[in-house]
Amino acid sequence: MRLTILLSLIISSLVGFSQKQKEKKNEKPKLVIGIVVDQMRYDYLTRYWDKYGEGGFKKLINGGFNCKNTNYNYMPTYTGPGHASIYTGTTPENHGIIANNWYNKVLNRGTYCTGDSNVNTIGSESLNGKMSPKNLLSTTITDELKLATNNRGKVIGMSIKDRGAILPAGHKADAAYWFDGGDVGKWISSTFYMEDLPSWVQKINEKNNPDKYLQTTWETLYPIETYTESIADDNKYEGTFNGEKAPVFPHDLPALRDSNYNYSLIKSTPYGNTILKELALAAIKEEKLGQDEFADFLTVSFSSPDYIGHQYGPMSIEMEDTYLRLDKDIEEMMTYLENNFEKNEVLIFLTADHGAVNVPQYLIDNNMPAGYFELGDFKTGLNEFLKGKYKSDSIVANVSNYQVFLNHKYIAKVGLDVISIENDIARFGLSQSGVSKVVTASGLRSTEFSDGILANAQRGFHQVRSGDVLFVLESGWIPAGYSTGTTHGSPYSYDTHVPLLWYGSGVKKGESDKYIVIPDIAATVAAILEIQTPSACTGVPIQKAIK
């Protein structure tokens, strides 16, 4: 009798354990959606909070986990390195995407982060599809999902920008789609992924939704006098579309198309976000994402805020209106997911690839530190300095991305000392107005910086691809040429502090002010999916956000 009872208890316990294990297994998401907003500062969440609806940003924050102190821990903070870092879980020193474009020291010419002359465009006759992830030197979390599922989990990337679609999707993606502007106005891909566009993408292209939106006028979503979080609509700090006399609402898009590269105009309006949202929802439906036992991954990068920010700046009504409209696009995505999935079936994270500085002239006019760095004058002065000391104008091969590349072949030929030249350039750089810090490649190779701006510079330094001397501008300074609007790329908080929101499967409700770095995102997704982290991952899982 006792033996029977004991066996019954053991069997019951094993059944219960098996059921708990099954429930635990079922908690893993069937679909992961990674959302990146191009040029989104953290304060856009708080500044426009009262105007957001309940179903977009607020739903992600109130129903999910808000990492309020998430930062990029390297420089330069550009689109290519940002997307690569989010999905590889590491920084440019390891994944190799050191900028959007960089000087190739071996080939003595420029390299674009996703350029690939060995593939061809799919979906149009242009050259804008000659792209692939070949320059990315680490696996991505999307690659690791493909490996973990033996290619049975689907991975699809999409963005207005090619680099915003390709780098997140990784090397093993089923597809990546980006927008071909100009006179094309279609979603395209490359032969790296496919031989023809899927029929559902072809149908979307045939609908020509971009044309529909470009036949409308961009008005503010709400009465313009309510946009009190922004400065006056007509001001000297904002750029204009070609053909406009002032940077003010309404923006007559039909009248502006011909003088603004036709379909490319939509990139610089909130409707660029809308057409991407439409593509994303179609992909979930037509590709049947999240419909089987193998997790799928959709990466969506909203690029239009970056185009709009560059033109108008962070304090503009255009920027505010863009985020209020993006909030509604995200709400539509959330509603679709709620209607078609259980909450524990979908994991969503939302972050940004970088922030942006306030327009420097606006800061100057408000008695704040800022300025414009004359790169042309810097190059001329540097060459004159080196010629005076070394009696040669062949010392420098290139200056770009706040880096000086030396002509090593010439230096070796004439028997000069590289370290001495690096140090001389560093001393010259520190004498220039607007330069805050300078560090040499020799210094970065021999010293490990644990924190601060020089540590950020080191994490952005790739020993094979980066230059020989790196310089950092003062806070608030940007390259001259941006007389209106803004840019990004610095190691300062306005460029590095970005949102990070988690929602859905495996996520706790809550928030944290703990310092988080961007590489932690891929490590956290790997922990929730219970798969390997990317090959060069330096991030750690955000334990407070995980159930």
* Residue-wise pLDDT tens digits, 35-53: 999 999 999 999 999 999 9
Per-residue model confidence (pLDDT) at position 22:
45
Domain C-terminal end among 418, 447, 474: 474
Nearest residue to 262 via CA among 152, 182, 176: 182
In a domain, 207, yes or no: yes
In this structure, are 348 and 406 located in the same domain? no
Per-residue model confidence (pLDDT) at position 7:
47
pLDDT in tens, 118-152: 999 999 999 999 999 999 999 999 999 999 999 99
Three-state DSSP class for 71?
Answer: strand
Cα–Cα distance between 449 and 160 in angstroms, integer?
Answer: 36
Q: Tell me: pLDDT of 496 over 70.
A: yes
Cα–Cα distance between 161 and 163 in angstroms, integer?
Answer: 5
In a domain, 144, yes or no: yes
H or E element in which residue 329 lies: helix 317-340
| C-alpha separations of 257 from 147, 149, 241 in Å | 44, 45, 10
In this structure, are 325 and 413 located in the same domain? no
Per-residue model confidence (pLDDT) at position 12:
54
In a domain, 8, yes or no: no
In this structure, are 353 and 384 located in the same domain? no
pLDDT band at 483 (very low <50, low <70, confident <90, very high): confident
The rounded percent of the chain whose pLDDT value lies above 70 is 95
pLDDT in tens, 255-279: 999 999 999 999 999 999 999 999 9
The range of the structural domain enclosing residue 407 comes to: 371-474
Question: For residue 472, which phi and psi values (nearest 5 degrees)?
Answer: -120, 130
* Residue 152 belongs to domain with CATH number: 3.40.720.10
- 37 touches 273 (CB < 8 A): no
| C-alpha separations of 372 from 102, 240, 360, 375, 433 in Å | 22, 20, 7, 9, 9
DSSP codes, 402-446? TEEEE-HHHHHHHT--HHHHHHHHHHHHHTSTTEEEEEEHHHHHH
Per-residue model confidence (pLDDT) at position 13:
53
In this structure, are 291 and 347 located in the same domain? yes
In a domain, 480, yes or no: no
Cα–Cα distance between 306 and 498 in angstroms, integer?
Answer: 14
Mean pLDDT (the chain, rounded): 95
Cα–Cα distance between 541 and 532 in angstroms, integer?
Answer: 12
In this structure, are 384 and 512 located in the same domain? no
Per-residue model confidence (pLDDT) at position 69:
98
pLDDT in tens, 413-435: 999 999 999 999 999 999 999 99
Pairing of strands 516-517, 70-71: parallel
Q: Tell me: pLDDT of 6 over 50.
A: no
Question: For residue 389, which phi and psi values (nearest 5 degrees)?
Answer: -90, -40
In this structure, are 94 and 231 located in the same domain? yes
pLDDT band at 331 (very low <50, low <70, confident <90, very high): very high
In a domain, 10, yes or no: no
In this structure, are 94 and 147 located in the same domain? yes
Nearest residue to 522 via CA among 154, 84, 122, 228: 84
Cα–Cα distance between 455 and 449 in angstroms, integer?
Answer: 5
In this structure, are 353 and 244 located in the same domain? yes
Per-residue model confidence (pLDDT) at position 279:
98
Token couple for 516: 């988080």
Which one-letter DSSP state was computed for residue 318?
H
In this structure, are 391 and 251 located in the same domain? no
- 458 touches 449 (CB < 8 A): yes
Q: Tell me: pLDDT of 97 over 60.
A: yes
Per-residue model confidence (pLDDT) at position 424:
98
Cα–Cα distance between 411 and 421 in angstroms, integer?
Answer: 9
pLDDT in tens, 372-428: 999 999 999 999 999 999 999 999 999 999 999 999 999 999 999 999 999 999 999
Per-residue model confidence (pLDDT) at position 403:
97
Cα–Cα distance between 54 and 330 in angstroms, integer?
Answer: 11
Q: Tell me: pLDDT of 449 over 70.
A: yes
Of 70, 77, 79, 121, the active-site residue reads 79
| C-alpha separations of 247 from 9, 215, 240, 485 in Å | 76, 19, 5, 11
Cα–Cα distance between 346 and 161 in angstroms, integer?
Answer: 25
Name the domain count of the chain: 2
pLDDT in tens, 507-519: 999 999 999 999 9
> What is the Cα 296 distance to its own chain's centre?
21
* Residue 461 belongs to domain with CATH number: 3.30.1360.150
In terms of phi and psi (left: phi > 0; alpha: psi -120 to 50; beta: otherwise), the region of 150 is left
Q: Tell me: pLDDT of 114 over 80.
A: yes
> What is the Cα 437 distance to its own chain's centre?
26
Per-residue model confidence (pLDDT) at position 8:
55
In this structure, are 201 and 76 located in the same domain? yes
Domain C-terminal end among 474, 500, 516: 474
In a domain, 130, yes or no: yes
Which one-letter DSSP state was computed for residue 66?
E
H or E element in which residue 63 lies: helix 57-63
- Catalogue the E-assigned strands of 261-416: 296-302, 346-352, 371-373, 396-400, 403-406
Domain C-terminal end among 474, 502, 531: 474
Token couple for 362: 């606006």
In a domain, 22, yes or no: no
In a domain, 21, yes or no: no
Q: Is 220 noted as a catalytic residue in this protein?
A: no
What is the pTM for the complete model shown?
0.95
Q: Tell me: pLDDT of 11 over 70.
A: no
In this structure, are 179 and 257 located in the same domain? yes
In this structure, are 252 and 387 located in the same domain? no
Cα–Cα distance between 58 and 270 in angstroms, integer?
Answer: 19
pLDDT band at 343 (very low <50, low <70, confident <90, very high): confident
Cα–Cα distance between 145 and 149 in angstroms, integer?
Answer: 6
Per-residue model confidence (pLDDT) at position 118:
98
